[in-house]
Amino acid sequence: MGKINVLVAITGATGINLAVNFLKKLKELKIETELIISKAAELVIEKESEYSINDIRNLSAKNYNFDDISAPPASGSYLIKSMVIIPCSMKTLAAIAHGYSDNLITRAADVVIKEKRTLLLSVRESPLSAIHLKNMLTLARLGVIIAPPIPSYYFRPKTIEEINDHIINRLLDQLGIDINYKRWENKS
């Protein structure tokens, strides 16, 4: 697999293990990643996972400070193939949908949209309000991929890890990264 550059952002929604497993999978596939972790995500990491911030940062080739609006991903001339926000909080979703670029994550997402590159948001919330849905629709109409980490059961998973792996593989599909995993088969 060739070098594919993916900017990964982790925000303060639940689902940190999905982000960590996503980064691990990209590293396993030898896909270069760059990483931004929000301040809220740092708090969730401490509460929700056994990983330290540095453990997670070490899964990526480059790391950026959340508040550094002058970092390379804030510029359209900086080439990244795609950006994935996993998990994506509703606050981050709303900021992106309304062009409110007050940190590096929302600014980088704004740049990815304006440069017509791939932006994937793995949004985390349930139930969804009309405001959440409106913000998702606004971004979907701009070509942003809205991919909540919704499990599939047709492959009859036995563990949470199998469910999480399948979710990550579906996200990789959306990025055009060809991998082999259990896909739907019509058995009739």
Question: What ranges make up the beta strands (E) of 49-180?
Answer: 62-64, 82-88, 118-123, 145-146
Q: What is the mean pLDDT of residues 79-107?
A: 97
pLDDT at 187 over 70: no
pTM of the prediction? 0.95
Question: Which of these, 184, 152, 187, lies nearest to 168 by C-alpha position?
Answer: 152
pLDDT-derived band at 188, boundaries 50, 70, 90 = low
SS3 27: helix
pLDDT for res 154: 87
Q: Which residue has the tokens 């995993």?
A: 181
Amino acid at 187: K
What digits encode the pLDDT tens for the residues 37-75? 999 999 999 999 999 999 999 999 999 999 999 999 999
Over its C-alpha atoms, the chain yields an Rg (Å, rounded) of 16
What digits encode the pLDDT tens for the residues 138-148? 999 999 999 99
| Cα within 13 Å of Cα(157), Cβ side | 15
Domain-by-domain residue ranges, the chain? 6-16+26-69+89-148+161-174
CATH number for domain 6-16+26-69+89-148+161-174, candidates 2.40.50.100, 3.40.50.1950, 3.40.50.150, 2.60.40.1220: 3.40.50.1950
pLDDT at 2 over 90: no
